[in-house]
């Protein structure tokens, strides 16, 4: 087994151990969705960035937001909106790998941290999630709700090992890209580029 393979396995084991540690502490879980909350995302996300730098591996952060979430609340009511969010969390969680990190940021926005994932891999995941949500019908009581998901994506590449990039930077970039996606339509995927800036309107 070569050194690269050993490093990859070591990184995956570390990630799984940390996820288990956080899952055993309810304080790190979002009550509404059962996935990680902001605190857990911030801590786990930064650990993943440092691990990516240490092992010179790619990392992708995706901000996935339910389009026109406020309208969903207005039309169907807050309780139905909460159910849609919770079921969306289940769909996203089932589509990810055990080593991936999924958390709820609030206001219909989820954050995904994908280790060992470059831009092409992140694009594939984003497309699959957008398609899956678009095909799903959420049945809440007598209401049948269809929603769409847009995503913003930022990528850390291993050739940027000397870059001072932190998880906070990648998160901000992903949120900026999400804002660009949702302002462009529904079910849109945008990859962050420098011209978009790094300061999202969404409160951090």
Q: Is the pTM above the cut of 0.85?
A: yes
Asked whether residue 182 is domain-assigned, the answer is yes
* Half-sphere exposure for 178 (CA within 13 Å, toward CB): 30
Q: How many domains, in total, are found in the chain?
A: 1
In a domain, 160, yes or no: yes
Q: For residue 118, what pLDDT is reported?
A: 95
Asked if residue 10 belongs to a domain, the reply is yes
Does residue 201 have a pLDDT over 90?
A: no
Residue 97 lies in a domain: yes
**Structural domain containing residue 90:** 3-195
Please report whether residue 202 resides in a domain: no
101 φ, ψ (degrees, to nearest 5):
-115, 130
- Kindly report, residue by residue over 156-178, the tens digit of the pLDDT: 988 755 566 899 999 999 999 99
Instruction: With residue 143 as reference, give the H or E element that holds it.
Output: strand 143-145
The reply to whether 201 falls in a domain is no
| Percentage of the residues of the chain whose pLDDT score is greater than 90 | 72
Contact between 138 and 145 (Cβ < 8 Å): yes
* Half-sphere exposure for 143 (CA within 13 Å, toward CB): 16
Strand partners, 100: none
Residue 115 sits in a domain whose CATH number is 3.30.70.270
pLDDT digits (tens, 9 = 90+) for 109-151: 999 999 999 999 999 999 999 999 999 999 998 889 999 999 9
User: Quick check: is 200 in a domain?
Assistant: no
Say whether 100 sits in a helix, a strand or coil.
coil
169 belongs to a structural domain:
yes
- Number of other CB atoms surrounding residue 165 within 10 Å: 18
User: Would you say residue 8 has pLDDT above 70?
Assistant: no
Residue 127, CA distances (Å) to 50, 123, 153 in order: 27, 6, 11
Return all residues near 144 (Cβ < 8 A) that are at least 6 apart. Answer: 137, 138
d(CA 106, CA 122): 22
């Amino acid at each position: 087994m070569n050194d690269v393979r050993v490093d990859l396995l070591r990184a995956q084991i570390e990630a799984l151990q940390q996820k288990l540690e956080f899952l055993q502490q309810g304080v790190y879980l979002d009550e509404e969705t059962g996935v990680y909350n902001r605190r857990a995302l911030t801590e786990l996300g930064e650990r993943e960035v440092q691990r990516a730098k240490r092992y010179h591996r790619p990392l992708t952060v995706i901000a996935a937001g339910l389009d026109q979430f406020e309208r969903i609340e207005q039309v169907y009511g807050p309780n139905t909106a909460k159910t849609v969010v919770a079921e969306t969390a289940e769909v996203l969680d089932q589509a990810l790998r055990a080593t991936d990190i999924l958390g709820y940021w609030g206001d219909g926005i989820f954050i995904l941290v994908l280790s060992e994932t470059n831009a092409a891999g992140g694009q594939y995941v984003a497309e699959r999630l957008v398609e899956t949500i678009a095909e799903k019908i959420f049945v809440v009581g007598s209401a049948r709700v269809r929603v769409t998901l847009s995503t913003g994506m930022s990528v850390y590449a291993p050739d940027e090992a000397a870059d001072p990039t932190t998880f906070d930077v990648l998160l901000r970039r992903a949120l900026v890209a999400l804002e660009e996606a949702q302002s462009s339509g529904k079910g849109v995927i945008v990859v962050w580029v420098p011209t978009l800036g790094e300061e999202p309107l969404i409160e951090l």
